[in-house]
Amino acid sequence: MAKIIRDNTSGIPTDEMGHVVDQMMQDAKNSRHAFERKWYDNLFFDDGHHFRYVSRTANKVVDLSNRESIYTPMRSIPKASRQIRGIANLLLANDPIPVVYPEKINPTAFQDLEELAQALKTTKDEAKMVGHFVSEEFKEQDIHRKLAQMLILAAKQSVSWMQIWPDAVRERIHTQVYDAFDIYVQGDITEVEDLPYIGKGVRMPISEIKANELFDQKQLEKIRPDNKRASSEIKEAYMTSRYGRGETSEYVPTLIQKEFFFKEYISSKNMFRIAQQEDVEKVLRNKKEGDVVLRQVFVAGDVPLRDRYVSLSEYPFVDFRFEPGPLYSTSLIERFIPLNKSLDSAVSRLERFFHTMNVGAWMKRQGEQLNISNMAGGQVLEYQSTPPVQARIESPSAMSFSFLQLLSGLIEEQGVTTSTMARVPSGVRANAAIESLKESEMANLVIASRQVKRTVKSIAEKIIDMADDYFVTPKTVYYLEKGEPQYFDIIGASALNLRQQANIETPENVLPIKKTYRVDIEVESGLGYTKAGKKDAAKDLG
């Protein structure tokens, strides 16, 4: 029987979506298998296991450091781990701040200049308050801490993810960071919005899944726990190796819950299902046949729990990568690992030399009976015919230390030196010189810095977009301005229009949040990178 070729998931009923999700996950796993192996090695390397590798012949993980002793040390120098964290610190040192632009005003719509000036002032004040709302939402969601997590994950896996989703019941916005193992995409695509689908598979307690009131209660009766740590077999192996093979308690069984978003186009194939939803007007607002609509599917095991079309205009996922290009590429730490392994080997051999020569070595004739014993008065050597001779203590060659410096220089050449390793060239004491070094390091991270701004901008835009649709009742925003507490009320612009159509009373002076607001990102560079530099800059300004 010939296989049916489908252009997308528009014509697939809900009962078959569990199989579709599993197939999409398997396809994504097969295409990224080689990358997952790299991510696995990178995680262990970052954990300090520099001498661990997968033996293809024995089909097991071998750790050479398990056989080390005081005389045969195998030292792991965490220079690569320090480098990626130093780069992340430097990128986040100047907090990126989202700035909201005022709406465009048509001057010809006003009769005199006073009305135009008042309208311009009103739009600026509204944009300023929306900016305060986004900033306070960033604080409530602890976005800056989650950004640091995204940067470190991306340094080890080339990409990291943040999901931003609304809670329609509590009228709140939630954010969560995920690593590359948990998110399933086509890794050769460069932009997230070009993906035909995106999904995640994470471990969830059975009790939490069954407590979700949005899921089909009949379908929930079919789910069974699998007690896996992760949806990826390779991440499962890493978690088991790192945290042990402990059995999951029978009182907290878990199951991999899958959440997928499929990009479909409005047509006769899916229009009937969309029309059956209560929020059909919200989903189809400002859309016509042929426009994109997102289909959200929840699956646990192979049981579909929820299949809905959502009003989101874009995927609720934001990615971070250190450089543009395909979603899956060479990670930052992979560029440091070969040199770091050479540094590990060199330091281990040098320490092995110290243990040998500093303890001392004795030369004796073959077959000679030699006994060495330590006494309170010193060391006693007993021999029969030929006296032993102590070998001359040698010093390591100058080339050994030159080689170590060469390796360190090559590692720092790919990363940052002054900010990461706290190394300031000898003789550099002036504030201007230190500021110049910091500035040069930031110049080497222009691409990564722009990627951070892009990620922060996407997060802010999605927060505004979701607030427009899901903030149905007025919500009070508090903030400090010049040490004085300020507050104002907000509501989603779409929700406000629906309230007005239904003749529902709305408080006056409430600020509508509109998804049409344009957002940009500013970086507070401040007066300088050091306290002394800031003082000098302030004096110059004065």
Query: At 53, phi and psi to the nearest 5?
Result: -150, 165
- Per-residue pLDDT tens digits for 464-490: 999 988 888 888 888 888 888 888 899
Separation CA 84–CA 334 (nearest Å): 11
Which residues on adjacent β-strands are paired with residue 426?
A: none
How many Cβ atoms are within 10 Å of 489's Cβ, its own excluded?
16
Which residues on adjacent β-strands are paired with residue 523?
A: 96
Separation CA 347–CA 68 (nearest Å): 14
Query: At 386, phi and psi to the nearest 5?
Result: -105, 125
Instruction: Report the candidate in 424, 418, 422 with the shortest Cα–Cα distance to residue 443.
Output: 418
Residues in the chain: 542
Where does the pLDDT of residue 176 fall: very low under 50, low under 70, confident under 90, or very high at 90 and above? Answer: very high
Task: Give the residue-averaged pLDDT of 17-25.
Answer: 92
pLDDT at residue 420 is higher than 70 = no
Lowest-pLDDT choice from 41-55, 204-218, 280-294, 375-389: 375-389
Which two tokens mark 314? 């874009």
pLDDT at residue 531 is higher than 70 = no
Separation CA 258–CA 377 (nearest Å): 74
Separation CA 541–CA 536 (nearest Å): 9
Residue 155 has what pLDDT?
95
Residue 194 has what pLDDT?
93
Residue 257 has what pLDDT?
94
Burial 418-453 (b: 16+ CB within 10 A, else e): bbbbeeeeeeeeebeebbebbeebbeebeebbebbb
Three-class secondary structure of residue 408 per DSSP: helix
Helix, strand, coil share (%) of the chain residues, nearest 5 = 45, 20, 35
Separation CA 464–CA 461 (nearest Å): 5
Separation CA 287–CA 359 (nearest Å): 81
Residue 292 CA to its chain's centroid (Å): 28
Contact of 46 with 55, CB cutoff 8 Å: no
Residue 2 has what pLDDT?
40
pTM: 0.85
Where does the pLDDT of residue 441 fall: very low under 50, low under 70, confident under 90, or very high at 90 and above? Answer: low
Residue 393 CA to its chain's centroid (Å): 51
DSSP single-letter state for residue 326: -
Instruction: Report the candidate in 284, 263, 332, 354 with the shortest Cα–Cα distance to residue 81.
Output: 332
- Per-residue pLDDT tens digits for 316-335: 999 999 999 999 999 999 99
Task: Give the residue-averaged pLDDT of 337-345.
Answer: 90
Residue 3 has what pLDDT?
46
Where does the pLDDT of residue 235 fall: very low under 50, low under 70, confident under 90, or very high at 90 and above? Answer: very high
Burial 295-331 (b: 16+ CB within 10 A, else e): bbbbbbbebbbbbbbbbbbbbbbbbbbbeeeebbbeb
Specify the residue for token string 């040698």.
394
How many Cβ atoms are within 10 Å of 164's Cβ, its own excluded?
22
Residue 102 has what pLDDT?
86
Three-class secondary structure of residue 390 per DSSP: strand
- Per-residue pLDDT tens digits for 484-518: 888 889 988 887 887 777 788 777 788 889 888 88
Separation CA 508–CA 35 (nearest Å): 55
Where does the pLDDT of residue 436 fall: very low under 50, low under 70, confident under 90, or very high at 90 and above? Answer: low
Q: How far is CA 244 from CA 240, 247, 503, 517, in A?
A: 5, 9, 60, 49
